[in-house]
Amino acid sequence: MSETDWTRQHTTSFSAADAEGNLICVTQTLGGIFGSGVVIPGTGVCMSNYLNWGDLEPASPNYLAPGKAWASVVAPSIGTVDGTGVLALGTPGSYGIMQTQAYVHYLNYGLELQAAMEAPRARLWDGARVELESRVPESTVEELKRRGHAVEMAPPLTMNCGGMQAVSFTRETGAMVGAADPRRDGSAVAA
């Protein structure tokens, strides 16, 4: 399937901050093109058909039963320091959502928000299959192969590794920074 196949692009994520430092991240997954086909009157909001990821087979981890939790890959996130929001981010990407490493690059490695978002990424698929953006150093590629991973090289930027939008807030100065992932459409704008 082509990277530009519009039929795969049915999840949206956006993050926003206001002057008081309030942060929000919303990730809307329709579950399929046009979701359930139902639009809430007067809103333009399409309802999801995400339950199609559920299963009627009792042995499945996604068995649909009353009161039973099942796997969901939507993970909009807000990072806090001492109870104050400092980072809001989210991404489309199905099971790749939890693997979008920009959060780690920003908080653990201290990269600026846009640089953290643009850093090379990987995605683990089922089993030992790993998809790496071609900007990942060759030494990392070889080490993953040595450890038994089936490495597949991807373009320099692939939406298979997410397409994050984010905003950060610095408590001390009130500064806000927005960033948009070049792997998908989107932009950072000031209101």
Which residues are designated catalytic? 11
Residue carrying the six token digits 């373009």: 155
Judge contact between 109 and 179, C-beta under 8 A: no
d(CA 64, CA 12): 25
How many CA atoms does the CB half-sphere of 142 hold within 13 Å?
Answer: 3
